[in-house]
């Protein structure tokens, strides 16, 4: 009889435990839903949903946390594409078999938090072949996760610095990447509405596809500039070695801050040195200051990457070096605009691709003018600007 009592008590305890566990699980699910709903609301999810519904042409999706966990095998280490100051980027495969890059940030930015939904709509409408496409986001987590198109060939930083230095990188390829990246930044500054300041231009934020087409990425530090303003007050963000010295003094992010950072990227392409590097001693060197010192002392050749030191390309290299020098001016007002940088690089790239324009006889034949009317320097050689202009005219 006592055995039956013990059995009954045991069964009752099991049933009670199971009942309590079920109640606990239901409570946890409800709590989780409330937390997700709160995060979704504070991250601007309702506004974003409204914008998506009112703009049927907008190809932008709000992902659930579960969808992104499934895409990355619960954010497994094997899915990691890279780490940065703002977080980790994972490779993911969605249910429709699309390969994407998922950025999981570490930092909560209160400024971005308030306007997140609005900014997502603006960024998702950027349609430029040299800007990484934003496909969607996940808002039901404390720090929103962003979903981008997957770009297969790594970063410019990896191409320049992590591959063997014996691997040849042609000047043509360097000019291609520089020209395309500058064009993307010029588009963000001048053609996006409202204009966008990237805020963290560096070689690791320039991705390369299978054809080495450059794609500017990572807008974690970006600012949308009101149409009636040219600068935004901000906390200093960015990466050491690329930071605009004027930003460090004024705390005002401007389009010229991006120009300075891009100037450092140009130096990386010219020298194959990192923005901060060690050479021959334990002292850390700034690539920007080392380059500007070399320019002042007329020692450009000593800092250039040996792979691009050849006589036939030196005119182009000097022009790119001078452009980088202008981008690195301490005063933002003295730097060229990103539009001007992109235009100059485009001309120099065309000149490199069509060196035949350097022959005066061919120039005169094309234009039907006497060489006396052309711009020349003190040695009688045609300036590269004139050669590039003639090249563009000849291509019409």
Residues with catalytic annotation?
200
Three-class SS state of 107: coil
Which DSSP symbol is given to 275?
Answer: S
Q: Note whether 215 and 184 are within 8 A (CB).
A: yes
Sign of the C-alpha dihedral computed for residues 260, 262, 267 and 270 taken in this order: negative
Annotated binding site: 104
Measured CA to CA, the distance from residue 79 to residue 134 in angstroms comes to 19
Two tokens, residue 165: 């230095």
Two tokens, residue 105: 């940030």
Two tokens, residue 168: 């040849």
Annotated binding site for ATP: 104
The residue whose two tokens read 């280490």 is 77
Measured CA to CA, the distance from residue 350 to residue 396 in angstroms comes to 13
Closest CA to 292 of 256, 250, 245: 245
Measured CA to CA, the distance from residue 224 to residue 213 in angstroms comes to 26
Measured CA to CA, the distance from residue 349 to residue 111 in angstroms comes to 40
Two tokens, residue 198: 């990237």
Measured CA to CA, the distance from residue 315 to residue 81 in angstroms comes to 38
């Amino acid at each position: 009889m006592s055995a039956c009592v013990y059995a009954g008590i045991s069964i009752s305890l099991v049933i009670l435990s199971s009942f309590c566990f079920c109640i606990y699980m239901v409570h946890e699910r409800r709590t989780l839903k409330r937390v997700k709903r709160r995060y979704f609301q504070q991250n601007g999810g309702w506004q974003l949903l409204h914008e998506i519904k009112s703009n049927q042409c907008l190809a932008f999706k709000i992902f659930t946390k579960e969808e992104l966990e499934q895409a990355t095998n619960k954010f497994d280490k094997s899915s990691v594409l890279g780490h940065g100051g703002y977080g980790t980027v994972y490779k993911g495969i969605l249910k429709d078999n699309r390969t994407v890059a998922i950025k999981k940030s570490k930092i909560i930015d209160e400024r971005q938090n308030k306007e997140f939904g609005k900014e997502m709509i603006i960024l998702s409408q950027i349609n430029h072949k040299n800007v990484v496409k934003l496909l969607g986001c996940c808002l039901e987590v404390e720090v929103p996760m962003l979903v981008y198109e997957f770009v297969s060939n790594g970063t410019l930083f990896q191409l320049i610095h992590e591959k063997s230095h014996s691997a040849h990188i042609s000047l043509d390829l360097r000019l291609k990447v520089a020209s395309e990246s500058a064009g993307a930044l010029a588009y963000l500054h001048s053609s996006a509405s409202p204009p966008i300041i990237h805020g963290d231009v560096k070689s690791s934020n320039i991705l390369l596809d299978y054809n080495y087409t450059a794609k500017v990425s990572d807008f974690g530090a970006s600012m949308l500039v009101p149409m009636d303003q040219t600068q935004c007050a901000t906390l200093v963000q960015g990466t050491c070695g690329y930071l605009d010295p004027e930003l460090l003094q004024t705390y005002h992010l401007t389009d010229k801050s991006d120009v300075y950072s891009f100037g450092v990227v140009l130096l990386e392409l010219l020298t194959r040195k990192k923005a901060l590097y060690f050479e021959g001693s334990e002292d850390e060197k700034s690539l920007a200051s080392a380059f500007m010192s070399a320019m002042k002392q007329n020692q450009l050749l000593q800092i250039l990457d040996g792979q691009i030191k050849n006589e036939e390309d030196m005119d182009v290299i000097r022009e790119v070096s001078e452009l980088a020098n202008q981008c690195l001016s301490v005063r933002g007002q003295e730097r060229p605009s990103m539009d001007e940088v992109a235009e100059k690089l485009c001309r120099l790239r065309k000149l490199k691709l069509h060196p035949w324009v350097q022959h005066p006889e061919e120039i005169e034949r094309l234009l039907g003018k006497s060489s006396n009317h052309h711009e020349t320097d003190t040695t009688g050689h045609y300036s590269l600007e004139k050669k590039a202009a003639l090249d563009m005219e000849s291509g019409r």
